[in-house]
Amino acid sequence: MKNKRVIVIGGAGAIGEAIVELLVVEGAAVVIADHNVDTAAQLAQRLSTGGTVYVAQIDITSEESVAAAFAESTRLLGGLDILVNCAGVIDEVPLSDMPFARWQRVIDLNLTGVFLACREAIPYLRQAGGGRIINIASQVGQRGRERLTHYAASKAGVIGLTKALARELAGERILVNSVAPGPISTPFEATLSEETLRETAKALPLGRSGVPAEVAPTVLLLAGDVSGALYVGQTLGPNSGDVML
């Protein structure tokens, strides 16, 4: 990752933080783009002694905010080589009880935000002569899950977007892939009901959930010049065996 210029959207979250930390350790210059700039700034401060880390505020549901965040981030970095889309939200409710606003919020944050960020990144990656887009999806988008229909739909959409965009851009040396983590022990997961967590844990062949530091290496693999060179439109699954493809 030496001299690579990276934007991690949602980099102040638990999985995002692990990704940022690993990329910085490996030599990348990273912008943590997040709506929570205070948490992002604390992370940047912690990592600044070992690498180059910046912070940019972003609202991934706003075209104007996404454009402004990319303009500021690429100014700080001097360009862009890698985009990691790691922002998102989860919300548990049966479909029959789901207000439209709750559906729309999850779709906006998990899927439309990825579209906006990918679209904004493409001109910068073209200027660099190629690069990587890595979208964080979820195994729920592959297998479905009761009471998480809106979340499953949004993450399945991310996987479909990844495949289609990969076909559009591979000829320009811009490789697009996704990572679909399984259950990961984070505050994000802790918002789910005890019933959902219990059922999920029981179904895992590995017998345990993962932790954020076990997801980040998959992003590093896809981002690497050699290690990620043949991955095009793929979805890799650090998921404790929950989904086997």
Mean pLDDT of 39-67: 96
Give me the pLDDT at residue 200, please: 80
Q: What is the 3-state secondary structure (H, E, C) of 36-59?
A: CHHHHHHHHHHHHHHCEEEEEECC
Cβ atoms of 60 and 9 within 8 Å: the answer is yes
Give me the pLDDT at residue 133, please: 99
- Residue 87: pLDDT band with limits 50, 70, 90: very high
Give me the pLDDT at residue 199, please: 81
Burial-class residue 130 by CB neighbours within 10 Å (0-12, 13-18, 19+).
middle
Q: Helices 113-127 and 63-77: crossing angle, nearest 10°?
A: 30
CB half-sphere exposure, 222, CA atoms < 13 A: 29
Give me the pLDDT at residue 55, please: 98
Instruction: Tell me which of 26-40, 184-198, 215-229 is least confident.
Output: 184-198
The mean pLDDT of the chain is 96
- Residue 195: pLDDT band with limits 50, 70, 90: confident
Catalytic residue positions, numbered = 151
The answer, yes or no, to whether residue 198 has pLDDT greater than 80, is: no
pTM of the model: 0.96
- Residue 190: pLDDT band with limits 50, 70, 90: low
Give me the pLDDT at residue 194, please: 80
Torsion region of 19: left, alpha or beta (phi above 0 gives left; psi -120 to 50 gives alpha): alpha
For 9, phi then psi, to 5°, come to: -85, 130
Question: Mind listing the pLDDT tens digit for each residue in 201-239?
Answer: 788 999 999 999 999 999 999 999 999 999 999 999 999
Mean pLDDT of 87-91: 93
Where do the structural domains in the chain lie, given as residue ranges?
Answer: 5-236
Mean pLDDT of 178-187: 92
Q: How many helices (H) and strands (E) does the chain have?
A: 9, 7
- Residue 50: pLDDT band with limits 50, 70, 90: confident
Q: Is the dihedral of CA 48, 221, 1, 77 positive or negative?
A: negative
Query: Tell me, which fold does domain 5-236 have in CATH?
Result: Rossmann fold (3.40.50)
The answer, yes or no, to whether residue 22 has pLDDT greater than 90, is: yes
Give me the pLDDT at residue 158, please: 98
Q: Is the dihedral of CA 175, 162, 136, 101 positive or negative?
A: positive
3-state SS assignment for residue 34: strand
For 5, phi then psi, to 5°, come to: -110, 120
Cβ atoms of 178 and 134 within 8 Å: the answer is yes
Place of tokens 């844990």: 201
For 166, phi then psi, to 5°, come to: -60, -40
The answer, yes or no, to whether residue 191 has pLDDT greater than 80, is: no
Query: Which residue blocks in the chain are alpha helix, DSSP H?
Result: 14-25, 37-47, 63-77, 100-107, 113-127, 140-143, 149-169, 194-203, 216-223
